[in-house]
Amino acid sequence: MASSPSPASSTTSASSQRSLHQDRPQTLEDLVTHFVASKRSLQTQTILWRANGIVTSARELLEENAILAAKNMSIRNIVNEQVDALEAVRRGIDVVEADVQAEFKQLLHDLDTSFAGLKSTLAVLRETPIESALQPSGTPQKHLFDFIDNTTVTALENSLRACIDRYNEARSSLEESTDAFDTSLENLNSSIDNVPKTPVTSPTPSPIPSLYRDLEGHARESAQAFQSLVKHYDLCVTALRHTEGGAAAVTQATGDVSLPSGDDHGPPPDPISEEERQEMLGVLGRDAQEVEDVVTEIREHGSEMSYLLSQIDVHIAHLRNEDSALGSILKMIANIATEVKGHIATSRAFHRSWLEDTRPTLLNGIEEWESQRDFYERFDLAYAELLVEISSRRRRYEKAKRKAEEAQKELDRLHAEDERAREQFTLAQGDFLPLDIWPGLRDPPRRYEVRAVPISQEQELEEVEEDQDTDLVAKSIPQLGRNVVERALVRVKRRM
């Protein structure tokens, strides 16, 4: 029988007893004992059957391991690619929102600046009174603001507020969409993190091939050990056949154990010499001492194979759990991919609303505020220039009036001179000239008057009704105070 390593429980005294037992002659009783022990040792064949089943199962698991490992790695790569794609879409939505929001804030700042400038101009109009000299007596005090149409400003302000409200609604819808998107991505990443990772061994990613090789080694060694037990059993049978009374001794000792018949093991054994028989018995005695160790070795191989199979089962269970979890991840990704279409549509609607509604409306609002501010500033400037113009007109009127008075005095002087000259002529020559010599001889000189020309028929009628001393032209050009005109000049120069 092939030598095998002694079990850890073997002691030096046991080895000594075996050695002494081997040296003494083998009796018929010893042979029967060896035979019974040998036949009992063959019951380890059930361990070999179990070992064969373990190897078969392990081979199937080895194949499943290769399939699952490749499948899981492939799915993980797919999952990583899909997550990268989803996160790229999410970043793209962020870029669109950030760009729009940055421009919106800038336009809103520009709009506020323009509106603040307009309100400042309107405040000036509210604080600028109309000079009382320009208004009919008894009229309540008015300001420049009372002469503008404020409904345009109010309508534009309401329109801009409505536009900003629409933008906020669109952005709120986008934020709800992105929040849902973020929640889906967080759940997905959390699920990915919770996917069980199959343990790996260095340098190979899977321990199963190594475990399977160890299993085969144990199965092979078990088979070899069992083969040695079979040979020992055959040797026991041969020894008993060559020993007188061997079969009867076996039957007597066991009651139900007998030697195999000749039909089962061929013709009766050939005769051997006593020397050959003693040599055979010596080998049998030595091998008999190792039967227990060999049986123990087979059992240990069987136990180790069961342990190795359990290790393989554990690893396969990890792979199966990983495969199941990754399958769930793929379903999550499919659901999120369906939802992403809605998120992209919401982002596009937000961007389209910005380009087609909010942005042009804000730009138009800024332009309109600036235009109205410019118009009302011109109105304020025009009023200041009006005051300067009234002062200039009054100055020109008074100059013309003085010239007219001077001309009237000169005309009156010439008329008086003409009268005196005619009277002197009549006194000197009137008695000598007949009246019919020239019909105009005794006519008075023509009188000339310098007067204001009426602007309209109504004013001409007023002139008839008014006293002759009333200056209608002067009434149409107010007399402004010097300080009023000086302030107006300062405002005009400041705006130039």
CB atoms within 10 A of CB 420: 11
Condensed to tens digits (0 to 9), the pLDDT of residues 441-489 reads 888 999 999 888 876 655 555 554 444 444 454 557 888 888 888 888 8
Of 98-112, 142-156, 228-242, 245-259, the least confident: 245-259
Assess if residue 382 is contained within a domain. Answer: no
Write down which residue in 319, 342, 375 finishes a domain.
375
Same domain for 78 and 207, yes or no, is: yes
Q: Name the average pLDDT for the chain.
A: 84
Same domain for 368 and 399, yes or no, is: no
pLDDT on residue 254: 57
Same domain for 170 and 312, yes or no, is: yes
Widest CA span of the chain, in angstroms?
222
Where residue 274 falls among pLDDT bands split at 50, 70, 90?
A: confident
Condensed to tens digits (0 to 9), the pLDDT of residues 27-83 reads 788 888 888 888 888 898 999 999 999 999 999 999 999 999 999 999 999 999 999
Same domain for 358 and 435, yes or no, is: no
In sequence order, what are the residues at sequence separation of 6 or more whose Cβ sits closer than 8 angstroms to the Cβ of residue 73? none
Where residue 252 falls among pLDDT bands split at 50, 70, 90?
A: low
Assess if residue 249 is contained within a domain. Answer: yes
Whether residue 109 contacts residue 454, with contact meaning beta carbons closer than 8 Å, is answered with no
Same domain for 298 and 441, yes or no, is: no
Where residue 310 falls among pLDDT bands split at 50, 70, 90?
A: very high
Closest CA to 302 of 192, 221, 396: 221
Omega prior to 268 cis, within 30 of 0? no
Condensed to tens digits (0 to 9), the pLDDT of residues 189-238 reads 999 999 988 776 545 678 889 898 999 999 999 999 999 999 988 888 88
Domain that residue 41 falls in: 13-375
Listing DSSP states for 156-219 in one string gives: HHHHHHHHHHHHHHHHHHHHHHHHHHHHHHHHHHHHHHTSPPPP--SSSS-SHHHHHHHHHHHH
Assess whether pLDDT exceeds 50 at residue 496: yes
Count of structural domains, the chain: 2
Same domain for 267 and 145, yes or no, is: yes
Same domain for 242 and 290, yes or no, is: yes
Same domain for 210 and 302, yes or no, is: yes
Assess if residue 345 is contained within a domain. Answer: yes
pLDDT on residue 414: 95
Write down which residue in 323, 346, 375 finishes a domain.
375
pLDDT on residue 433: 87
Assess if residue 381 is contained within a domain. Answer: no
Same domain for 231 and 291, yes or no, is: yes
**HSE (CB half, 13 Å, CA atoms) of 276?**
7
Rounded to an integer, what is the distance from CA 155 to the centroid of its chain?
38
Rounded to an integer, what is the distance from CA 94 to the centroid of its chain?
5
Assess if residue 175 is contained within a domain. Answer: yes
How far is residue 124's CA from residue 129's CA, in Å, rounded to a whole number? 10
Assess if residue 386 is contained within a domain. Answer: no
Whether residue 259 contacts residue 247, with contact meaning beta carbons closer than 8 Å, is answered with yes
Same domain for 66 and 118, yes or no, is: yes
Assess if residue 380 is contained within a domain. Answer: no
Same domain for 138 and 178, yes or no, is: yes
pLDDT on residue 125: 92
High-pLDDT (> 90) share of the chain, %: 54
Same domain for 75 and 136, yes or no, is: yes
Write down which residue in 375, 406, 422 finishes a domain.
375
Closest CA to 288 of 7, 38, 26: 38
Assess if residue 389 is contained within a domain. Answer: no
Where residue 8 falls among pLDDT bands split at 50, 70, 90?
A: very low
